Amino acid sequence: MTERAIDPAELAALVHSLKRRAPQDAAEMLTPLPRATVDAALAALPPDLAARISARLVDAIAPLDVLPGDIGSLMEPARGSFTATTTVAEAIAWLRAAPEPQQITYLYVNDGGGKLSGLVVPRDLLLAAVDAPLESIMLRAPFRLAPGDTLGDAVQATVKRHYPVYPVCDAAGVLVGQVRGWQLFEQQALELTAQSGRMVGINKEERLDTGFWAAFKMRHPWLQINLLTAFLAAFVVGSFEDTITRIVALAAFLPLLAGQSGNTGCQALAITLRGLTLGDFENVSVRQLVVKEALLGTLNGFLTGLVAGAAMWFTAGGTKGDPQALMLALVIVLAMTGACLASGIFGVLVPLILRRFGADPATASSIFLTTGTDIAGMGLMLFLATTLVL
């Protein structure tokens, strides 16, 4: 909900009252007020008094209502907000009087109503004339985050912006806080390290010290889903039972084909998830990635298929002149190539489809990927064997 505009008369009365109070009393008076009103009142006070009151407000102002996964959960109060007409000398005086000034990375400039107009690097204060307004040296329209942004979206937005601090503004552009860059980079590292577990159904909240039953509840549902999807692959294999019965050598190559195509798909999946986390899809289109992974899958599948085909030829009795041995070897080469081609495409599309439907793209991706590659790979091999050999 948008806050109502601050009445100039009310603001003047508030400022007058604050000047007559001790800093602690003034801080308690400002605590229940909207953040925009607090910022406007502090900007209208003498810098030294504003600094003393702000020091007592850092822990007093109630945080915005945010969800645990939102950027607001990392937000801290933004200290040092001034109007555009504040002079360099006044800003320096405030900075010198502020507690722990070494923790202040930027000074923020607002329009008098709390809306962020720009920011000033303290270093620039030393190079500017003392009577110059902050408006003349500020960086205009700085990048900002919103308190409702998810941590994942914030990581993607800041991964190529290596700033030490990011201002946080509400929908009206009012400065409500700030987030330090190291916290977002820490979140990014956590996101990347958690992906390998989430791909197989392990919740990113699970740690080494997570209790037995808590870990069981996190993991078991995904194993049930994996079982259900595995039934699909089993159904495909069962449909070619007669082929397997007549060509027993095929049974030995089913797990080999599934493992090779699964590994190829996991490689494409890992690259896709990394790209989603780091925001690489701004520079590379989905079509480009699909084509690339399809070509990689085809080439890798063909080369590994030649080795597997030679093994099939030898296993099927090629050295003894068995006429089916060469055809079975061809089936393995074609099946391996097609399976790896399909798994490369699946590795890109599975996480993108999950994200399209609002699900976490890393959550149990490998479960769906494994099912898709098993059906495509084993189904293709058995179909080719039925068509070309029998």
Strand partners, 133: 87
Domains along the sequence of the chain with CATH = 8-188 (3.10.580.10), 210-388 (1.10.357.20)
* Cα angle 59, 62, 64; round to 5: 125
Query: What pLDDT is stored for residue 190 in this prediction?
Result: 61
Give the contacts of 306 (CB within 8 A, at least 6 positions apart).
333
d(CA 13, CA 83): 18
Give the contacts of 377 (CB within 8 A, at least 6 positions apart).
257, 258, 261, 335, 336, 338, 339, 342, 343
**CB distance 269 to 347 below 8 Å:** yes
Other Cβ atoms within 10 Å of 247 Cβ, number? 19
Crossing angle, helix 286-315 and helix 323-356, to 10 degrees? 150
How far is the first Cα of the chain from the last one, in angstroms, to the nearest whole number? 71
d(CA 117, CA 107): 11
Please list the pLDDT of the chain residue by residue as tens digits (390 residues): 344 566 788 888 888 888 878 777 787 788 778 777 887 888 888 877 777 777 666 544 444 444 455 787 788 888 888 888 899 999 998 888 887 788 888 999 988 878 899 999 988 998 899 999 999 999 998 999 888 887 777 877 787 778 889 999 888 888 888 988 887 777 666 665 555 555 555 555 666 677 888 878 877 777 787 788 778 878 888 888 888 877 877 888 888 888 888 889 888 988 888 888 777 787 788 999 999 999 999 999 999 999 999 988 888 776 556 678 888 899 999 999 999 999 999 999 988 888 887 776 766 677 788 888 888 888 888 898 888 887
Candidates 97, 127, 126, 94; CA nearest to 108 is 94
